[in-house]
Amino acid sequence: MSSPDTCVHCNLPIPPADLVVDQIDGKELHFCCHGCQGVYRIITGAGLESFYRNRTWDEQGVPSGAFEADYDEASLAGHVIRRDETTADISLIIEGIRCASCVWLLEKLLVREAGVTAIRVNYGTHRAVIRFNPQATTPAKIFSAISRLGYLPHPFSPGAAQQAAAREQRSLLIRFGTAAFLSMQLMGFSFALYGGYFHGIDPEIRQLIQYFAAAVATPVVFYSGWPFLAGAWRSLKNRSASMDLLISLGVSTAYCYSIYAMFKGGEVYFDTSAMIITLILLGRLFESSARNRSISGIDKLLRLAPDSASRVDGDEVNTVASASLVPGDTILVRPGERIPVDCQVLSGDTEVDESTVTGEPMPILRQAGDKVSAGSLNLSTSIRLKVEKVAAESFIARMARLVEEAQNRKAPIQSMADRVATLFVPLVTTIAIGTWAFWWFSGASHGEALLNAVSVLIVACPCALGLATPTAVLAASGNAAGKGILFRGGDILELTSRVDLIAFDKTGTLTHGQPTVEQIIPASGQTETTLLELASRAESGSSHPLAMAVLASAKTAGIQPGPAGLVTAVPGRGLKMQCKDGEILAGSRTFLTESGVEVPTIDSGTRTEVHLSLGGVWQGLLLLHDPLRQEAQQTVRELKKLGLDMVLLTGDRPETAQQVSENLAMPDYQANMSPADKTAWIETRQGDNHTVMMVGDGINDAPALSLADVGCAMAGGTDIALETSDLVLTRPDLESLHIAIFIARKAMQVIKQNLFWAFSYNLVTIPLAASGKLAPVWAAAAMAGSSILVVSNSLRLGRLVRRTFSVAKPPASD
Amino acid sequence: MIKSIVILIVLSLCIGTGAWLIFIWTVKRGDFDDVEGPKYRMLDDDENNSSPPGTSQGEKK
């Protein structure tokens, strides 16, 4: 599970100076710090060592500052929901959950805490609800227990909007479940009635079965179908036609006519109304579960900035709420902690992971006088900072506002189904009224005129029309999900098919977002292997992305680093290691030159150099860069074939952007783009009547993702990017993107075919019904036929997708 | 004849309603809130894996 040089608990490489050796159960175990040793003892002491067998990740652990967190009883009290004297609930979000074992560990260990009665951790959303006895424990104690395990708990009170969404989802599920259950019953009754129609049936029994059919159909129409009826009423009030109106019109005429026919001894059509509602509810259920996967992106963004900060007041350091910091305060940020508000560095040199701000994975050196943004992660040393902006004005809050604005600005689109309804509803109503008027004035009885008008409404009943879109959307999203593509709704499918311009973020999207060793240039007399061994020995204790890349490359080459010595890291420069062969220096050109090593000039282009020297003699250099994804070139080619324009939007330097765009044969690029620039750029293009898709992965892309017509994020990107996007590629594979567009376009094609068929069916049957020549039972048969046609046409999508992409991609090794 | 049909139909409706009530109960209990976790939960080799009662978020008003 863990090799000898990594920590048993957190899997981080152990800096030789920090090695902690412990004897547990007669085995010698290595830890990187006493914190990890302590946690290991807690876990094994509780008899839960199977966690180490169960866990499936081999990545490095949680931010090291996490253990020192202090929890303020007063601020947590507001999040507690009291149920009675001895029971209370608290909701929280637990950061650091990586796999199901984490959930298991948290549940098992917390329930052993005194006073905790129950806990349930949601694996998908990382939310947890803990029920405890407020007389036996306090929220702060529970929070400390969680952080002792190495997870970061945040109190969380779901906003009104989220609670509403969750309730909505549940009520939809119940409505659908009810509709499905009753429709199944109804089908039994209808089956008897069909049989009776062809073979004869005792009118008394027929009436009886019709009563039962009415009894089960009524709740479907009025309870399950309530969202449609309410929607229809709303659109009537607004004097606009919508799909809801069309569905309600069809459902209610079929239902009302059936009630009338039941008493008059005619044929009933309860099954039609129930089936439409059931199928369309199923479609909505899929859509809303894709939409509500998780809490909203804005919330996740806001909790990137820590809730509490360590304020330096004279000689003491106090833990205060980040919101209470005012400009001019001095705060202390330890390594592993995130910076709570926008600040200026007062003292201390450190490396800061600013990937939240810029999207770039490389840490940046920050020294006294430099500015740092809220949400960035302090990596190497403790620093003192002067607060420059209050929390509400800081980077993270500004970002959240940008996302919110972008979401509000995005105009809701009128879906194709609604556009059809706008045309169709007035048309059918006019024809029905016309029919009634015609028969009334040509001297037919009142009943006959009404019957003909109703049969127009029934045959025009949007059975096929109502199913045209939802079934195609269902088939498309189902098949897309199998290919690792998640469309968050039918409108997204439609928008994706219309996309004509794709904007790509660079780091993490077109590239892997992690540097790798690309070239090894040894000095004369050295081999690549010895150089790589030297490098990996020097870097073995570091968690810097460059060091990780060197170690990974050494591991691939099968090189065991030699015994390490005492390491001194110089932030932003490199590191020094004393070992028996002399002093090893690994780092930038300036670092080595300043230390008196002669370094030859080598043109490395846009790549990052790591120079190495041993005992003051230059040994060679490694060239690292962030490589393009393997499939990127192929994807760009495929997308071009589909006739799409593409552009690269990056916060990186123009040279790098140019190089990437040349490699990919992507003609257009924009470099040095801030998050706000990206949104502005997209907005301009949308103004020129482009339908823009943005593909990105970082927090800095979030506003652009929410503004773009279709925001697309890939698994492996940040949670916030995934939350703010409409289209999610659940595998870190760019190739799915062109499959997504293919599926979307095919789905729209199928929807159009379906609509065309539904219209031609109406074109034939409406005149027949208006002239009173269509027996209701034939109308019903034709209706069923057209529905079957529409459904099977939609199902064709699945075969189409399988046929097109089954050979193209070997099955993922699982 | 009619009598037996009515009895059978009512009986089938009763059984169906029972299943429906169980469905409503499970939704209200929040069993459908996390559809991702349970498939892993069953893999945990634990002695007493009884799920804690009604701790899902949906329980709250």
Minimal CA separation from A235 to chain B, in Å: 30
Residue length, chain A? 814
Buried b (16+ CB within 10 A) or exposed e, A560-575: ebeebbebebbbbbbb
Residue A543's pLDDT band (boundaries 50, 70, 90)?
low
Which residue does chain A place closest to B28, by CA atoms?
A: A170
**Which pLDDT belongs to residue A202?**
85
Closest CB to A158: pick one of B32, B53, B57. B57
Q: Report CB contact under 8 Å: A118, B52.
A: yes
Q: Report CB contact under 8 Å: B6, A173.
A: no
CB burial class (10 A; 0-12, 13-18, 19+) of residue A814?
Answer: exposed
Render pLDDT for A281-302 as a digit per residue (tens, 0 to 9): 887 777 676 655 544 555 556 6
Q: Which residue has the higher pLDDT, A780 or A520?
A: A520
Is A418 an annotated catalytic residue? Answer: no
SS3 A608: strand
Residue A142 confidence (pLDDT) above 80: yes
A653 touching B, CB under 8 A? no
Which residue does chain B place closest to A185, by CA atoms?
A: B13
Q: Report CB contact under 8 Å: B60, A89.
A: yes
A618 touches A523 (CB < 8 A): yes
Q: How far is CA A770 from the centre of its chain?
A: 51
Q: Which residues of A touch B26 (CB under 8 A)?
A: none
Q: Report CB contact under 8 Å: A166, B13.
A: no
A788 touching B, CB under 8 A? no
- Which residue, among A79, A120, A202, would best test binding to B if mutated, counting the most B CBs under 10 Å from its CB? A120
B14 touching A, CB under 8 A? no
**Which pLDDT belongs to residue A503?**
92
Q: Which residues of A touch B33 (CB under 8 A)?
A: 122, 166
The CA distance from B20 to B22, in Å, is 5
Minimal CA separation from B58 to chain A, in Å: 8
State the DSSP code for A292. Answer: T
User: Which residue in the block uniquely carries the two structure tokens 């230059």?
Assistant: A618
Closest CB to A181: pick one of B5, B9, B20. B20
Q: Which residue has the higher pLDDT, B53 or A103?
A: A103
**Which pLDDT belongs to residue A596?**
82
Residue A224 confidence (pLDDT) above 90: yes
A177 touching B, CB under 8 A? yes
Listed in sequence order, the residues at least 6 apart from B42 whose beta carbon sits closer than 8 Å to its beta carbon are none
Out of A505, A626, A701, A726, the active site residue is: A505
B26 touching A, CB under 8 A? no
**For residue A177, what are the CA distances in angstroms to A164, A476, A791?**
20, 23, 21
Which residue does chain A place closest to B53, by CA atoms?
A: A118
Mean pLDDT value of segment A402-416: 64
**Which pLDDT belongs to residue B52?**
43
State the DSSP code for A501. Answer: E
- Which residue, among A51, A129, A205, would best test binding to B if mutated, counting the most B CBs under 10 Å from its CB? A129
**Which pLDDT belongs to residue A124?**
63
Q: Report CB contact under 8 Å: B40, A103.
A: yes
B56 touching A, CB under 8 A? yes
Q: Which residues of B touch A81 (CB under 8 A)?
A: 60
A487 touches A710 (CB < 8 A): no
The candidate with the shortest Cα–Cα distance to A615, out of A589, A576, A588, is A576
Orientation angle between helical segments A446-459 and A416-441, nearest 10 degrees: 160
B42 touching A, CB under 8 A? no
Closest CB to A118: pick one of B16, B24, B53. B53
Q: Which residues of B touch A173 (CB under 8 A)?
A: 27, 32
Which residue does chain A place closest to B35, by CA atoms?
A: A124
B15 touching A, CB under 8 A? no
Chain A, residues 195-214, CB within 8 A of chain B, namely: 204-205, 208, 212
The candidate with the shortest Cα–Cα distance to A583, out of A545, A551, A555, A615, is A615
Q: Report CB contact under 8 Å: B16, A174.
A: no
Q: Report CB contact under 8 Å: A124, B5.
A: no
Residue A728's pLDDT band (boundaries 50, 70, 90)?
confident
A103 touching B, CB under 8 A? yes
pLDDT beneath 50: ranges in chain B: 47-61
Mean pLDDT value of segment A167-196: 89
B36 touching A, CB under 8 A? yes
**For residue A632, what are the CA distances in angstroms to A644, A735, A744?**
15, 8, 20
Q: Which residues of A touch B44 (CB under 8 A)?
A: 54, 100, 104
The rounded mean pLDDT for chain A is 79
State the DSSP code for A13. Answer: B
Closest CB to A122: pick one of B20, B33, B46. B33
A164 touching B, CB under 8 A? no
**Which pLDDT belongs to residue B51?**
43
Q: Report CB contact under 8 Å: B2, A166.
A: no
Q: Which residue has the higher pLDDT, A463 or A258?
A: A258
Least confident of A30-34, A111-115, A554-558, A573-577: A30-34
Residue A58's pLDDT band (boundaries 50, 70, 90)?
low
Render pLDDT for A60-99 as a digit per residue (tens, 0 to 9): 444 444 444 556 666 677 677 777 788 888 888 777 676 6
Which residue does chain B place closest to A83, by CA atoms?
A: B60
Q: Report CB contact under 8 Å: B34, A119.
A: no
A85 touching B, CB under 8 A? no
B18 touching A, CB under 8 A? no
**Which pLDDT belongs to residue A407?**
64
Mean pLDDT value of segment A589-596: 84
Residue A630 one-letter amino acid? Q
**Which pLDDT belongs to residue A111?**
81
Least confident of A199-203, A219-223, A321-325, B49-53: B49-53
The CA distance from A146 to A141, in Å, is 9
Mean pLDDT value of segment A129-144: 84
Q: Report CB contact under 8 Å: A205, B27.
A: no
Q: Report CB contact under 8 Å: A212, B9.
A: yes
**Which pLDDT belongs to residue B61?**
34
Q: Report CB contact under 8 Å: A119, B9.
A: no
Q: Which residue has the higher pLDDT, A21 or A125?
A: A21
Closest CB to A173: pick one of B27, B40, B51. B27
Q: Is A338 left (phi over 0), alpha (psi -120 to 50) or beta?
A: beta
The CA distance from A569 to A381, in Å, is 10
Residue A159's pLDDT band (boundaries 50, 70, 90)?
low
Minimal CA separation from A225 to chain B, in Å: 17
**Which pLDDT belongs to residue A780?**
66
Q: Report CB contact under 8 Å: A104, B41.
A: yes
**For residue B15, what are the CA distances in angstroms to A274, A705, A782, B10, B21?**
20, 49, 34, 9, 10
**Which pLDDT belongs to residue A213?**
93
Q: Report CB contact under 8 Å: A122, B34.
A: yes
Buried b (16+ CB within 10 A) or exposed e, A766-777: bebbbebebebe
Residue A134 confidence (pLDDT) above 80: yes
Total CB pairs under 8 A between chain A and B:
93
A50 touching B, CB under 8 A? yes
Residue A217 confidence (pLDDT) above 90: yes
Least confident of A543-547, A648-652, A694-698, A716-720: A716-720
The tokens describing B43, both together, are 């893999």
Kindly tell me the sign of the dihedral angle through the C-alpha atoms of A110, A115, A117, A120: negative
Residue A225 confidence (pLDDT) above 80: yes
Measured in Å, how far apart are chain A's first and last C-alpha atoms?
19
Mean pLDDT value of segment A629-649: 88
**Which pLDDT belongs to residue A70?**
59
**Which pLDDT belongs to residue A304?**
67
Render pLDDT for A453-504 as a digit per residue (tens, 0 to 9): 777 777 776 667 777 777 788 788 878 877 878 887 777 888 898 899 999 9
Residue A800's pLDDT band (boundaries 50, 70, 90)?
confident
B12 touching A, CB under 8 A? yes
A724 touches A705 (CB < 8 A): yes
